Amino acid sequence: MNLDLVKEQLSKNINKKVIVTVYGMRNKINRYEGTLYKIYPNIFSIMMNGTEKSFSYNDYITGDIKIRFV
């Protein structure tokens, strides 16, 4: 997977509902549901109930997070 492809895929889906699953240490899994909000050079963010949460493209490429469009 390429960084430019990830940015392109996310840019096409701005303002759409997403579920971001974060696989953390010690088998901890967090799920965040919101709207894809902004695309920045190194991160992207989602808006959940008025709170902005940011994620790294590298985490997506390495599989530490998964993005599902709803």
Q: What's this model's pTM, rounded to 2 decimal places?
A: 0.89
- Cα–Cα distances in angstroms (integers) from residue 63 to residues 6, 15, 50, 51, 60, in the given order: 12, 23, 27, 24, 5
Residue-wise pLDDT tens digits, 16-65: 999 999 999 899 999 999 999 999 999 999 999 999 999 999 999 999 99
How far, in Å, CA of 24 to CA of 43, rounded?
A: 18
Supply the pLDDT for residue 22: 96
Supply the pLDDT for residue 2: 87
Q: How far apart are the first and last CA of the chain?
A: 22
CATH classification code of 3-69: 2.30.30.100
Supply the pLDDT for residue 68: 96
- pLDDT band for position 1 (50/70/90)? confident
How far, in Å, CA of 68 to CA of 19, rounded?
A: 5
